[in-house]
Structure 1
Amino acid sequence: MKHIVLFLHDFRGGGAERVSVRLANGLVDLGARVNLIVLNDTGPMKNELNPSIMIHELTAKRMAFCPLELGSLVNHLAPDIVISHMTHANVSACLAAKLFGFSHKLIVVEHNVMQTNFKIVNSVSVKLAYLLTKLVYRIPKKVIAVSAAVKGSITRFTGVENIEVIFNPVVNQDLLDYKVSSTKYAHPWFHQEMPVFVAVGSLTPQKNFKHLLKSFALLIKNQPARLLILGEGPQRAELELDIVNLGILDSVELLGYVGNVYDFIAQADALIMSSAWEGLPTVLIEALSLSTKVVSTNCEGGSAEILAQGQYGILVPVHDCHSLAQAMKEVLTRSFEDLKQRASLFSIDESARQYYNL
């Protein structure tokens, strides 16, 4: 039985956390013994973890302070493979591997476009972590990118070329077969005639919801519609003010974190992704799995890969409010074929199998 350790920050409801939990569960299904090491043993995704997976919470509460404790714990657990997710965790894992001699077991997974993230973030510690990748990403056995776009960004930013692409584990048969009750509505707006758009993501500059709100305000000048945004984050107050100033208070709701987004996505007329950049946007794959039409910015990242350059959804330029508004109107009358078949390329089983065989 292969023994695999996964390392991540916590169990928050973000895309990387969901991916990590799905991967852990998928590895268990393949027969692996899995341990999870975290800085913080809290968050909604913890409830979705296979109960056979043992969780180890470090006493250090910041990534910068954890390499010694992490390295000691990894050597105590003596796994065959260590898989780390996200840049901050990856840097700490690389330092621990170098100090404690498990570089030959370490796999680091990069989820985002590195140059763009580095330019956007204001945190000194985050910028330092990115700069350190130029040195430490030469330590692990393998660097994994979640899309071809992310792979290119890693090489351009760090100079590292030994990179393999493994798509995120997103889809299983339960998701492809997911059914929403015909009499139970996730939100009262779905029970009405007016089209409802759904957007999902943290309320941060990366998701570019300020741009989405401006686009939506343009749309409803000649196309009545409503918009539900699922997610929480530091821009909430700013977005609430934008909703008031744009005069769309009766047509938009910020619902905060929602545990089950599938009912909302499945009942929506379309899912809208307005991101300024991404890695491999899970929500697009989930929408395809549920046969929900999508409009997405053609941002730096994996959206064009998922949608096959527009074959499975509408792609629009980033920061172009008029194009996004027009696409939201257009998608209501467009049809797309084989959405579930496209989504099945991003299966949990296939992703877990590729990690298991590294």
Structure 2
Amino acid sequence: MSKKICLLTDRLSSGGAEKMVGNLSISLAKKNYDVTIVSMRDDIKYDYKGNLYNFGEVKAKNSRLKSLIKFKNYFETQNFDVILDHRVRMHWFKEFMFSNFVFKNNLVVYCVHHFKLSLYFPCSSIPFLSKRTLVKNRVFVSVSKEVRDQVKKKLNFDSQIIYNYPIFKNEEVKINNLGFDYIIAVGRLEKIKQFDVLINSYSASKLSKANIKLLIFGEGSQRYHLESLIKEKNLESSIILKGFHSNVNPFIKQAKALVMTSESEGFPMVLIEALSLKTPVVSFDCKSGPNEIIQNEVNGILVKNQDALAMTNALNKLLDNEFYKSLKAHLENNNLLFTEEKILNQWVELLDAHIA
């Protein structure tokens, strides 16, 4: 009988962690696991395989109490062998209820997708309280070395590192010729992504004068602020907010570079997707992930963390033809590090080690 795997996620849209859930469902289904995705929100845009329990739809039709009862009953009847919990887990009481009344008898793998531990461990500054939100039969997976070290340092939990990986369909990476050169940025339009820093660095760079535009893909609460900043800089013809696209791969593939200016991350999916598509990357050396992905001046540029001037200089360096050719040549001639096959084997080994 196939092992029953539950992938628990906030949604199947908009973020790298959520895309990783879709990818993992596809990979595990290929290995003949019985896969179910449970989405806490009715927001399903990424590809996936297996069954879907859209709890967002349930919440929309029922009271909070009735929804919780239905949620509990669902997990009691499904008898999952393991729950891979990829959600953001910020609210202590909610997670206390889940761990003590919904998932109490389950094996749960808690996945930590960000360096900022408070996103995944409510009351992380008080380990005793954080532990009350976790089931006893638990395993931890961290998406980077720095996240693993942070989990150990702050909470004294051991965790296994399993990196993110991309999956591409042939039709998803066809060249999408826009008729102009550009760099690209992808992510939710939220403060932590610091697209305003990118806009300022781009404005101070030579890219606009060289007719290289900046395309930003994503939606979020900062859209109006970013639109205002672009107008203030008189760059409406050079910086384009493209909104959310479920498939940005053709745009990444054709870009001169993908740029990331986040305040903090976990293990940025957009960086490994870009490198897999042979597109150089430029990123702040933020916590965490970029320095485990980028070989500085080999497959991209690793910029001193939060140094806006250094970011501007890095963007200008993309105009150095010999330097840029060396980046592209490395990407074309070297094997990829973060492949589905390599990383899926780690997931399979973890599952086999903990499921009877």
Aligned partner of 1:122 in structure 2 is: none
Task: Check if 1:22 corresponds to 2:19.
Answer: no
Query: For the Cα contact (< 8 Å) 2:261–2:283, is it kept in 1?
Result: yes
Q: Secondary structure of the equivalent of 2:8?
A: strand
- Separation of aligned partners in 2, 1:67 and 1:156: 34
- The aligned length equals 335
Describe the SS at the equivalent of 1:136.
Answer: coil
Change (3 A) 1:34 1:93: farther
Match of 1:57 in 2: 55
Mapped pair 1:141 → 2:124: no
Contact 1:9–1:89 (CA under 8 A) maintained in structure 2: no
Q: Is the 2:104–2:135 Cα contact (8 Å) retained in structure 1?
A: no
Residue number among 112, 115, 128 corresponding to 1:110 in the alignment: 112
Which residue pairs with 1:225 in the alignment?
212
Deviation at 1:283, TM superposition (A): 0.5
Using the alignment, how far apart are the partners of 1:338 and 1:103 within structure 2? Answer: 49
Matching residue within 160, 165, 171 for 1:169: 165
Q: Structure 2 vs 1, CA of residues 37 and 30 (structure 1 numbering), >3 Å: closer, same or farther?
A: same
Q: Is the 8 A contact 1:295 1:331 kept in 2?
A: no
Cα drift, residue 155 of structure 1: 2.5
Q: What CA distance in whole angstroms lies between the structure 2 residues aligned with 1:69 and 1:309?
A: 50
Identity of aligned residues (%): 25
| TM-score, with length taken from structure 2 | 0.83
Post-superposition shift, 1:274?
A: 1.0
CA distance in 2, matches of 1:308, 1:12: 29
Written as runs of structure 1 = structure 2, the 5 A alignment for 1:241-320 is 241-308=228-295, 311-320=298-307
The amino acid across from 1:55 in the alignment is Y
Partner SS state of residue 44, structure 1: coil
Tell me by how many angstroms 1:71 deviates: 4.0
Structure 1 match to 2:147: 150
**Distance (whole Å) between structure 2 residues aligned to residue 33 and residue 93 of structure 1:** 26
5+ long unaligned stretches in structure 1: 119-125
- The TM-score normalised by the length of structure 1 is 0.83
Helix, strand or coil at the partner of 1:346:
coil
Task: Judge conservation of contact 1:30–1:353 (CA < 8 Å) in 2.
Answer: no
Distance in 2 (CA, whole Å) between partners of 1:103 and 1:90 is 21
* CA positional deviation for 1:327: 0.6
Which of 222, 232, 240 aligns to 2:227? It is 240
The answer as to whether partners of 1:215 and 1:321 remain within 8 angstroms in 2 is yes
- 1:82-231 aligned within 5 A: 82-88=83-89, 95-99=97-101, 102=104, 105-115=107-117, 128=122, 133-137=130-134, 139-157=136-154, 159-171=155-167, 174=169, 179-181=173-175, 184-185=176-177, 187=178, 191-192=179-180, 195-220=181-206, 223-231=210-218
